[in-house]
Amino acid sequence: MDEDSVRRRKESQNGCTGYSVDSNTKDKQPVKATVLQKDVGLLSGICLIVGTMIGSGIFISPKAVLLYSGAVGPCLLIWAACGVLATLGALCYAELGTMITKSGGEYPYLMEAFGSLVAYLYSWTTVMVLKPSSFAIITLSFAEYASTPFYPGCTPPLVVTKSLSAAAILLIVSVNCLSVRLASYVQNFFTAAKLFIIIVIVGAGIVLLAQGNTETLSNAFDGTTSSVGAIGLAFYNGLWAYDGWNQLNFITEELRDPFRNLPLAILIGIPLVSVCYVLVNVAYFTVMTTNELLLSPAVAVTFGDRVLYPLSWIVPLFVVFSTFGSANGSCFTAGRLAYVSGREGHMVKILSYISLKRYTPLPALIFNGVLAILYIIPADINTLINYFSFAQWAFYGLTALALIVMRFTRTELHRPVKVPIVIAGLMVLVSCYLVLAPIIDKPELEYLYCTIFIFSGLLLYYPFVHLKVNWARKLMRPITMHLQLLMEVVPPETTE
């Protein structure tokens, strides 16, 4: 951040609590309201979408789609079709985000369409499990690839990867607490880094295609599976690789000109990711047969060893960059949901407070970071999250349904972007399939445990949110006050 903006922030601190403004500030810049500032432009918005969607999956294990589709041709078609579906889903979010310009992702839309209870269950599940556990998994992946070069020929010790993962969480949370603009710059840098390595891989693939390395691609549809269930599972895995297309809706209030930049960032970012995914897969097939790709522990690293030697070390390095950028994007958006939930009274009030100096949702970011560190401790977090992931698509489906419902119940709302209602209907059907497919394919008791956890939020909702019991307020008041003094945070000002 430049010195001038730092100076302006320091000068504004005299008046940002709303009590008094020094007379000598009248001729200077207007005092900033203590709300989240509109610091995210179009480029940062695109980088947030692209940087969060592209994690380590496309570099390490893009093989599930190939495994279930059975051949190269349908594999590439499914990658492209998943990109189209993700774009259609994001267009529904563009309508919702420009109609209800509040941060928090699905939360404000579910609140408007279905009321407080559904919105609360969404925030309870996402704030307590989905967001922090996703943050933990991405940083564990980062730690694994960052520590591997120091342990040639063997797996890094668990204590090393978990400690490195915790250090990454602390670093990313600190960056996000310091400044929205700094977090945006970090996101932009790491998105540029992952796009660079994708350009290198795609460029190498184009050169190899020009040289005639088309054996794997020549009989692209040989061995295609005829099982509808297998094709369905290929789509299921492909769509998970595109997860993250809703990230920008979590920070709508911080977007400059959201009516223009939100739909534009979606229309640039998601097709860009789709093109990257398809072209990277084509590049892999110029070097590896289908069997080699399925057997490779890290596909991009194998590609680098065969094509980029002696510079093959850049691939694992940029995979580390990619996972770090993805973790930063995940932290950036997760804090906003906890902040909005606290503001609406669905979480403790302190989570809705804003740093007086930094204009960041400091308590919400720290809370998400603490939960993420707790999720690192168990032996195998991936198993837990796989069972919870069906809930994510359940909420996507409810959000698409919210768009359909509000077409009839909230006709007075201005809609700068309006998508055909058929698209929202398609997203509801796709979501239903993605919720039910893994349960029908392999029914397990853990899905029931996850459902029980989601609805257990009602045990807290009734006394603390619906009834607002008095003893809870008395208990929380001194805790909130002490945390407020410790972190130098204040309630957000109302600017409307």
Nearest to 336 by CA among 354, 322, 356: 354
Alpha carbon separation from 451 to 221, 241, 445, 456 (Å, rounded)? 40, 24, 10, 8
Q: Is residue 84 part of a domain?
A: yes
- CATH, residue 398: 1.20.1740.10
List of residues 6+ apart from 355 with CB closer than 8 A = 177, 361, 362, 487, 488, 489
Domain coverage including residue 339? 42-477
Write the pLDDT tens digit of every residue in 439-464: 887 788 888 888 999 999 999 999 98
Q: Is residue 2 part of a domain?
A: no
Q: Is residue 183 part of a domain?
A: yes
Q: Is residue 376 part of a domain?
A: yes
- Residue whose pair of structure tokens reads 């401790």 in the numeric block: 377
Instruction: Give me the residues paired with residue 490 across strands.
Output: 354
| 23 has a pLDDT exceeding 90 | no
The model's pTM is 0.85
pLDDT at 485: 92
Q: Is residue 330 part of a domain?
A: yes
Write the pLDDT tens digit of every residue in 314-351: 988 998 999 999 999 999 999 999 999 999 999 999 99
Model confidence at 385, pLDDT cuts 50, 70, 90, reads: low
Quote the mean pLDDT of the chain: 86
Rounded Cα gap, residues 16 and 359, in angstroms: 10
Write the pLDDT tens digit of every residue in 117-173: 999 999 999 999 989 988 998 898 888 888 888 887 788 898 999 999 999 999 999
In the structure encoding, which two tokens stand for residue 372, read together?
């993420």
Percentage with pLDDT > 70 across the chain: 91
Model confidence at 489, pLDDT cuts 50, 70, 90, reads: very high
Q: Is residue 26 part of a domain?
A: no
* Tally of domains within the chain: 1
Q: Is residue 180 part of a domain?
A: yes
Model confidence at 207, pLDDT cuts 50, 70, 90, reads: very high
Q: Is residue 186 part of a domain?
A: yes
pLDDT at 384: 65
